[in-house]
Structure 1
Amino acid sequence: MLTAQATTNGATNGATSAAGKYHGYDHLTFWVGNAKQAASYYCTRFGFEAVGYKGLETGDRDVASHAVRQNNIVFVFQSPLNPGNTEFGDHLQLHGDAVKNVAYAVDDCRRIYEAAVARGARSIRAPWVEKDANGSVVFATIGTYGDVEHTFVERTNYKGDFLPGYVPARGGQPDALLSLLPPTFLEYVDHIVGNQPDLEMVSACEYYEKTLGFHRFWSIDDKMMHTEYSALRSIVMTDADEVIKMPVNEPAAGKKKSQIQEFVDYHGGAGVQHIALRTKDVITSVSNLRARGVEFLSIPETYYENLKLRLQTSAVKVTEDLEIIKKLHILVDYDENGYLLQIFTKPVEDRPTLFIEIIQRKNHQGFGAGNFKALFEAIEHEQDKRGNL
């Protein structure tokens, strides 16, 4: 079995890692039933702003695309424009609104794509170039777990706001409503978690190792991550420079259905379960997100009573006010070097699938293993309300 551990030696397959360098997450693309309204939701609730649009007015006759940004986080929401689009229709029927593509910013799109395909990656689209007055961008796309894809984006020769073909959203006019709402100070994507059906986690991780030269950064097994009712296993995959973190989860046997299995059931297979967004000030971010109407999981008071007792004997000192942390239902995890603060929203869609994590790190690069039990119990409480525990 896997044990909770950090494996940060950077060991990769040299031939694959030498193909190119990753600079982080470029953007995430969601396939949804109504892209215009989904984009507005993330602007009003999470503090994004519209950055670009493609659709009928730009000559795109099949798909509408709405891009929103907050600092270095970009989400793109896409919907079909015409009846009978079976590619979108089948995807929406199976998965509901979901993350379709996790795009990586890279320095050499063609080399990374060619190396990945040569090592067994499933090609979705060979390299292509898109241009406008602001320059050119090179793209290529491969498949990963489930119906999720990765697009490599090389934008060295591009100076535009987002990508070629996009025009300013709302005709360049700001949304007057957003100026009335408090800022949320979310900076960039920390990690993106993918859930797999039981016994498919290892093969998904091996795919990243073989095709992209990623290595295992951190892992935990069901001996550590379990409650009275459910359990999970998790491996975090990362690139050679450890700028991209892709945790991969699977359910483990328990008395009742785990949140991982609930996701798989309602998503119709493997897919992106949650997106972790980094902030430097989680208390302000969460306070303002709550003011915008974002719903978070509730953590029992006993968690904070135990936390205070444990911190009394720890060399790590949490500088934030623990009473405010308790009031906001923020979780704290720590080791001998530092700590992290994290909180999880309730599902952001009707299906109990996708949710958002807000995370602040203070010299701690883990993934909240110490909080998994409290988190699972909070999620199980919500599952029970849905009749899915």
Structure 2
Amino acid sequence: MKVEKVVGTSYEDKGPKPPSGKFTHFDHVTLWVGNAKQACTYYCVRLGFQPLAYQGLETGSRKVAAHVVRQNKVILVLKSAYEPDDKEMGDHLVRHGDATKDVAFTVEDLDEIVKRAKERGATIVRDIWEESDENGKVRFATIQTYGDTTHTFVERGDYQGLFLPGYGKPPFEDPLCAKLPSCDLEIMDHIVGNQPDLEMEDVAKWYESTLMFHRFWSVDDTQIYTEYSALRSIVMTNWEETIKMPINEPAAGKKKSQIQEYVDYYGGAGVQHIAFISKDIIKAVTALRARGTEFLEVPKAYYTTLREKLKNSKVKVAEDLDILESLQILVDYDDNGYLLQIFTKPVQDRPTVFYEVIQRCNHTGFGAGNFKSLFESFEVEQDKRGNL
């Protein structure tokens, strides 16, 4: 099947503006992993992060080790259990593998946000609590979202510490970090949650009802499909549209889609990938490849077709297409602008979690025009794994 240029559906109705309580941006993402120390090294050496903070036995944390890494405004927290009978973290690791446990948002007026969530039926994992140290205090609350994933609301106030109360300086500075090229990933653009078939709509409605997010963009399986597989996706966002949460589900096809493969190996709904914004994707991907990051391979025919289509486009891509092709960077565009994007291969043995690098040039979409090529690239990898 040949799929021509695909345009996602954009939504103009933001719904009622929350009277108070504001989500400002992604605060950090917490991953539960088998060995946080080793994972920290991977994220620093392969993906260009730097150690930011640490919590462990040396800081008084007796049950969990946490290594915090940062790249500009992107913060990841890698956590592992110390104790052999830690059932919660142990069961999560066995079921899901190394995976995102919590997506945290920086908020204003935490009390109002939690009050509203309770009134709208949210499952409260941990009600409002406060932590403090010599650098100030931070207030938190955690609620349940899809699968075993949670959202933590973080009200930082004027806290001046490295990261959060209870964290100290990193115990080790990797000498390799200073010798490797800078990737300059700026912020988290969006975080994608995969759902089992026919569960996407309920999750989208949960974000609308519980958090007062609204629909920003969507595509369905009449728009996004290959010969073998298809997907549906709804992007949810806060009122200010500073937090984007795409919700995906598989659609019926001849063979298993990469969304269904994720659900099978993850054991249900969960975070599939995090997209990082770059102001210079060529520099970023060149550095990431030099560091040994593996990316999906794009068929050569993609760039032949792209060059032909761009001849008739109102938008002119400023970057050299030969360089984009050599780095396997994808291009999506409309009449107003374009975006450049690339996807890593899974960063662990399970074909679940991966990452995206994206550069936006007056384009607010999510690469709908690239989904077919992206799916075909995933299908090549799925076939190697015997999962297509």
Amino acid at match of 1:112: I
CA RMSD of aligned residues (A): 0.9
**Correspondence 1:93-108 to 2 at 5 A:** 93-108=94-109
Aligned equivalents of 2:99, 2:110: Cα separation in 1: 25
Aligned equivalents of 1:121, 1:365: Cα separation in 2: 30
Aligned equivalents of 1:381, 1:144: Cα separation in 2: 32
Structure 1 contact 8–218 (Cα < 8 Å) conserved? no
How far is the alpha carbon of 1:27 from its aligned partner? Answer: 0.2
What stretches of structure 2 of length at least 5 have no aligned partner? 1-6
**Correspondence 1:130-279 to 2 at 5 A:** 130-170=131-171, 174-279=173-278
2:69 corresponds to which residue? 68
1:40 corresponds to which residue? 41
Aligned equivalents of 1:22, 1:72: Cα separation in 2: 16
Structure 1 contact 46–289 (Cα < 8 Å) conserved? yes
How far is the alpha carbon of 1:95 from its aligned partner? Answer: 0.4
How far is the alpha carbon of 1:58 from its aligned partner? Answer: 1.0
User: Structure 1 residue runs of 4+, over 6 Å off?
Assistant: none
**Correspondence 1:86-125 to 2 at 5 A:** 86-125=87-126
CA distances 1:201-220 after superposition (whole Å, capped 9, x unpaired)? 00000000000000000000
How far is the alpha carbon of 1:116 from its aligned partner? Answer: 0.9
Aligned equivalents of 1:68, 1:320: Cα separation in 2: 30
CA distances 1:322-355 after superposition (whole Å, capped 9, x unpaired)? 0000000000000010000000000001000000
Residue in structure 2 matching 1:6, options 10, 14, 17: 10
- Percent of aligned pairs sharing the same letter: 60
How far is the alpha carbon of 1:25 from its aligned partner? Answer: 0.3
Aligned equivalents of 2:57, 2:95: Cα separation in 1: 26
Aligned equivalents of 2:73, 2:168: Cα separation in 1: 19
Q: Does 1:57 align with 2:58?
A: yes
Aligned equivalents of 1:195, 1:225: Cα separation in 2: 15
**Correspondence 1:75-90 to 2 at 5 A:** 75-90=76-91
1:285 corresponds to which residue? 284
Aligned equivalents of 1:144, 1:356: Cα separation in 2: 21
2:378 corresponds to which residue? 379
Amino acid at match of 1:307: L
**What is the TM-score with the length of structure 2 in the denominator?**
0.97
Amino acid at match of 1:36: K
Aligned equivalents of 2:312, 2:122: Cα separation in 1: 48
Count of residues in Structure 1 that have an aligned counterpart in Structure 2: 382
CA distances 1:270-289 after superposition (whole Å, capped 9, x unpaired)? 00000000000000000000
**What is the TM-score with the length of structure 1 in the denominator?**
0.97
How far is the alpha carbon of 1:380 from its aligned partner? Answer: 0.3
How far is the alpha carbon of 1:28 from its aligned partner? Answer: 0.2
Structure 2 contact 297–377 (Cα < 8 Å) conserved? yes
What stretches of structure 1 of length at least 5 have no aligned partner? none
Aligned equivalents of 1:262, 1:130: Cα separation in 2: 40
Aligned equivalents of 2:222, 2:372: Cα separation in 1: 11
Aligned equivalents of 1:266, 1:237: Cα separation in 2: 25
1:26 corresponds to which residue? 27
CA distances 1:217-252 after superposition (whole Å, capped 9, x unpaired)? 000000110000000000000000100000000000
